[in-house]
Amino acid sequence: MPVAKRMVELTQNASWIRKMFEEGLRLAAIHGAENVFDLSIGNPNVDPPEAFQEALQEAAADCRPGVHGYMPNAGYKEAREAVAEYLTRDQGVPVSGDNVVMTVGAGGALNVIFRTVMDPGDEAIVSKPYFVEYANYLDNHLAKLTPVASKPDFDLDLDAISAAINPATRVMLVNSPNNPTGRIYPLETLRALGELLERKSREIGRIIYLVSDEPYRRIVFDGNRVPPVFAAYPSTLIATSYSKELSLAGERIGYVAANPAAPGIETIMPGLILANRVLGYINAPALMQRVITRLQGVEVDVALYQRNRDLLYETLTGAGYDVFKPQGAFYMFPRSPIPDDMAFAKELLEQLVLVTPGSGFGTPGYFRIAFCVESRVVEAALPIFRQLGEKYFGGASA
């Protein structure tokens, strides 16, 4: 066999999201990009904010010796301190630069965390639906994902989480605002989760980490705010990136931040830094570290996303679809009109509308719409959603 056995298995489960992304590129080449309505991937096509362009020009013009060379594996001191200052404001607890490690995006951040705290055989619990890549990231470290049910409104189901915790549980993974539902977990849910993890950690005699994957934190609607996880539980690690809030997904810049109150923080931080190195990331890209140092608290204009959300939500509910109204992020997770979500996605695909089947999020019977696209793409897709609603719900629309 030319590739590893593990790789063969992995290939067979290749991501639906990426499949759709590649399918979109293929269809665009045939029908012209303007005739394909790709709502399948969280690749923001909103331009980065103007402040980014300025910061980038200046960073690129910087010719001081060594500016493109190695720096300590944790990242530039200035970048770490800028992030810490932002987190101190945002999380409401004092965070120092020593509690931050700059990473190759959130994908890098999560792998760094898993490598640091998880041994082979350890488990991470996640609430369904979930970003399917989590299972692959855990599998890198021979750890396992344990998906549990969420409540009907996609809030965390603490009873389900409690029932799933066992001596192998090492991580509770939350993602808020959630991909694919757009759900924000309220502070009282996080606090109750914190109490549960506190109690269960004592029971099993090992710390269960709360890992908060929050790249959509600054993409919120209707004046919503994402509650701070550091306030809810001491053993919390944040993984995030600037991919979504600054539209920089291809540049691979993000960070891990550890709650300074976490027991064992003095061994956690060297672990994270070492993991960043040995996993081959070495450090987050130098130039982008310098860029984001100056862009703390800056974000893209979310008005476009909110407009897309409103258009889609009104049309879909009007056409009879059952859908949770996203509070943040740029995804919507309607129930599929037919139980077979893959068949429904295929039906949309025939009309050149690309979505991702719920099966790609461990939750068949739904589909995900990514609305981080120009409004014209959303608008072009609306009649097709309406028409299929008509077909399956038989004129349930207003």
Q: Which three-class secondary structure state does DSSP give residue 260?
A: coil
Choice from 73, 99, 327, 356 touching its own copies (CB under 8 A): 73
Q: Is 30 in the site for its own copies (CB under 8 A)?
A: no
Specify whether the CB–CB gap between 166 and 204 falls below 8 A.
yes
Contact 352, 40 (CB under 8 A): no
Burial 241-271 (b: 16+ CB within 10 A, else e): bbbbbbbbbebbbbbbbbbbebeeeeebbeb
The answer to the question of residue 123 lying near its own copies (CB under 8 A) is no
User: CB of 27: closest distance to its own copies in angstroms?
Assistant: 14
Among 82, 95, 110, 190, binds its own copies (CB under 8 A): 110
CA dihedral sign, ordered 254, 90, 234, 185: negative
Of 279, 276, 285, 268, the C-alpha closest to 99 is 268
Element (H, E) at 312: helix 303-318
Closer CB to its own copies, 280 or 394, in the complex:
280
Q: Which of 27, 41, 101, 174 is in the footprint of its own copies by CB under 8 A?
A: 41
Minimum gap (Å) between residue 143 Cβ and its own copies: 9
Q: Does 53 bind its own copies (CB under 8 A)?
A: yes
Query: Using CB under 8 A, which of 68, 89, 199, 225 touches its own copies?
Result: 68
Of 34, 35, 92, 119, the one binding its own copies (CB under 8 A) is 119
Which residues 306-325 are close enough to bind its own copies by CB under 8 A? none
Options 5-13, 86-94, 150-158, 384-392: segment touching its own copies (CB under 8 A) = 5-13
Q: Toward its own copies, which CB reaches closer, 49 or 186? A: 49
**Pick from 20, 36, 39, 59: which binds its own copies (CB under 8 A)?**
59
- Does residue 121 interact with its own copies by CB under 8 A? no
Side by side, the strands of the sheet bearing 331-332 are: 331-332, 367-370, 356-357
Binders of its own copies in range 234-293 (CB under 8 A): 247-252, 262-265, 267-268, 270-271, 274-275, 277-288
| Identity of the amino acid at 259 | N
Q: Are 257 and 99 in contact (CB under 8 A)?
A: yes
Least distance to its own copies, CB of residue 282, Å: 5
- Judged by CB under 8 A, the residue of 32, 120, 223, 394 near its own copies is 120
Nearest distance from C-beta of residue 329 to its own copies, angstroms: 16
Alpha carbons within 13 A on the beta-carbon side of 131: 26
CA dihedral of residues 27, 29, 31, 35 (deg, nearest 10): 80
Query: By C-beta, is 21 or 305 nearer to its own copies?
Result: 21
Coil, strand or helix: which one is 162? helix
Task: State both tokens at 172.
Answer: 């509770």
Query: Contact region for its own copies (CB under 8 A) — 51-59, 223-231, 298-306, 383-391?
Result: 51-59
343: left (phi over 0), alpha (psi -120 to 50) or beta: alpha
Per-residue x/- marks for its own copies, 200-239, CB under 8 A? ------xx--------------------------------
Instruction: Name the minimum Å distance from CB 324 to its own copies.
Output: 26
SS3 readout for 185-242 = CCHHHHHHHHHHHHHHHHHHCCCCEEEEECCCCCCECCCCCCCCCCCCCCCEEEEEEC
Residues 6+ apart with CB under 8 A from 57: none
Q: Which stretch binds its own copies (CB under 8 A): 12-20, 161-169, 222-230, 325-333?
A: 12-20
Residue 24 lies near its own copies (rule: CB under 8 A): no
Nearer to its own copies, 281 or 344 (CB): 281
